[in-house]
A and B are shown apart, each in its own frame.
Chain A
Amino acid sequence: MDYTLDLGAVTRNLGPLFDGLAVTLQLTVAANIIGITAGFGLALLVLSRFALLRLPAMLFVEFFRCTPAIVQIVWFFYCVPMLFNVFLDPITMGVLALGLNLTAFNAEAYRASIQAVPREHLDAGIALGLTPAQRVLNIVLPQAMRASVPVLLTNGIGTFQQSALVAIVGVADLMYQGKTLATQTYRPIETFTIIALFYLAVSFPVSQLVGWLERRRGLAAR
């Protein structure tokens, strides 16, 4: 294969790539804000004693867990405007699609951490005279929140990576800018390698942080 690498073709055009990265980060941060807050509310619904609250919440979670993210995004972009007559700009649509997906996954993380709080701690809370609300606030939530952090971060980087899917519906994110640049310059190898490095540069430190948090937790649990 007589293909000579020419990184210059890409490095001369970093501008659009950084624009794309900015959009990708914008999607990621916004989707995470939705996922971290709404995910918690959804977890409470999933754990509700009332079937009327619990069942729809569980259905929501399962829908997002059991369908491919790309199908969710495409469905969102094409079906929501038609079904509900709602027309939003592509980035907002992307944020909502990614955010709802993350909400479902984060709800699972919160639910698992809430249920992982040992029963005996709640018994001790009763023995200490704490009211149900005080037990939730002072015993369950602090422990569950701490236990959730690594999974929330992992899900958060997952969304960062999945956000590349919105390129196929025309959102000008990092992936989209990369595709455009690769086509313009006929340099797919250089372009997509550099795109991959962009994603890696953001994900890797976060994944290291997760590893560190989990090791620290493991030590503290002894």
Chain B
Amino acid sequence: MTAIPQDAALVRITDLHKGYGAHIKVLRGLNIEMKPGERVVVIGPSGGGKSTLLRVVMGLEEIQQGSVTFAGKPYISAEGSKTRIDTEQRKKIGMVFQHYTLFPHLTVLQNLTLAPRKVHGVSRSAAEDRGRAILARFGLDAKADAYPSQLSGGQKQRVAIARALMLDPQLMLFDEVTSALDPELVAEVEAVILQLASQGMPMMMVTHDMWFARNVASRVIFCAGGVVVEDGPPEQVLGNPKEERTREFIDRVFHIKG
């Protein structure tokens, strides 16, 4: 390992072990160091722990061993049987999930303004102005007062991204945000993520769309068996993998895609 000073990493995951219950081991000593400005795409077989990894980074899960630092400061660590999570650090990270998570009893604009108002004490009018501006950027201004049930899947995911951006995250996590969508709706969501990428938003994402991965990633990590198998630029990991297991996986994925 090259000696990179601690503060050079945006996220540093060290020896991460994470399972569910006593018998299911998912992550088995995972190490990842993500630098500011990087866009990391995590690929790997289904059930390999990609969602678990993102959920750990979001501070949603207990871990059994290891630690995560964020922006050079401690964030998550396993201490005995307890997991310590710095909730102030957690606020700097945003996440969009595979399943729709817009709150159905709130309008689009209320979904956007809830956290800024409750968490950061932003006034309603300031939060609404900000919300409308972000919605406009994503072509959703007409939907501000709609309820989630009135939106298409693609619109829901774009609103979910807008909602996360309201808190000015320093890192965005995307876990297969297009896999619940009808094929014709995928592009509009990917376009929004590409827009963020072009503005330099650091992100870590899981996707099965290899074309999209190649477009958005500055770095691709192939995860299997709970460890990092291969880690490198997209041209390498997706185009000409060094590891046999990566090669098999990539071949299979591209074959399925036809």
Contact = CB atoms under 8 A, between A and B. Distances in A.
A34 B103 CA distance: 30
Nearest to A134: B118
Interface in A98-139: 118, 120-121, 123-124, 126-130, 134, 138-139
Nearest to B93: A127
B66 interface: no
Interface string B194-215: 0000000000000000000000
Contacts of A134: 118-119
Given A123-B60, A143-B103, A129 B97 contact: no
Interface in B86-107: 87, 90-91, 93-95, 97, 99-101, 103-105
B253 interface: no
A220 B104 CA distance: 9
B149 interface: yes
Contact of B115 (A129, A143, A146): A129
Interface size class of B (residues with CB under 8 A): 20 to 34
A138 B114 contact: yes
Given A120-B101, A123-B97, A221 B119 contact: no
A139 B94 contact: no
Contacts of A211: none
B49 interface: no
B60 A128 contact: no
Contact of B119 (A130, A139, A219, A222): A130
A33 to B, nearest CB: 25
A128 B163 contact: yes
B105 A146 contact: yes
A142 interface: yes
Contacts of A130: 114-115, 118-119
Interface residues of A, number: 20
Given A123-B97, A138-B118, A128 B167 contact: yes
Contacts of B16: none
A203 B59 CA distance: 49
B68 interface: no
Given A128-B163, A129-B167, A221-B149, A123 B101 contact: yes
A9 to B, nearest CB: 53
Contacts of B118: 130, 134, 138
Contact of A129 (B91, B104, B149): B91
B114 A143 contact: no
Nearest to B92: A129
Given A120-B101, A143-B105, A128 B115 contact: yes
B78 interface: no
Nearest to B148: A220
B164 interface: yes
A219 B160 CA distance: 22
A130 B59 CA distance: 13
B217 to A, nearest CB: 22
Contacts of A222: 149
B250 interface: no
B104 A127 contact: no
B249 interface: no
B163 to A, nearest CB: 7
Point out which of A120, A128, A143, A219 has the most chain B C-beta atoms below 10 A from its C-beta: A128
B138 interface: no
A121 B114 CA distance: 13
Contact of B103 (A121, A123, A126, A221): A121
A118 B98 CA distance: 13
B76 to A, nearest CB: 13
Contacts of B104: 143, 220-221
Contact of B101 (A121, A142, A146): A121
Contacts of A138: 103, 114, 118
B58 A127 contact: yes
A222 B152 CA distance: 10
A82 B105 CA distance: 49
B114 A127 contact: no
Given A121-B101, A128-B167, A143-B105, 17 more contacts: A118-B101, A123-B58, A123-B60, A124-B97, A124-B103, A126-B60, A128-B114, A128-B163, A129-B90, A129-B91, A129-B115, A129-B120, A129-B167, A130-B119, A138-B103, A138-B114, A142-B103
10 contacts: A120-B101, A123-B60, A127-B60, A128-B114, A129-B115, A129-B167, A138-B114, A142-B103, A143-B104, A220-B147
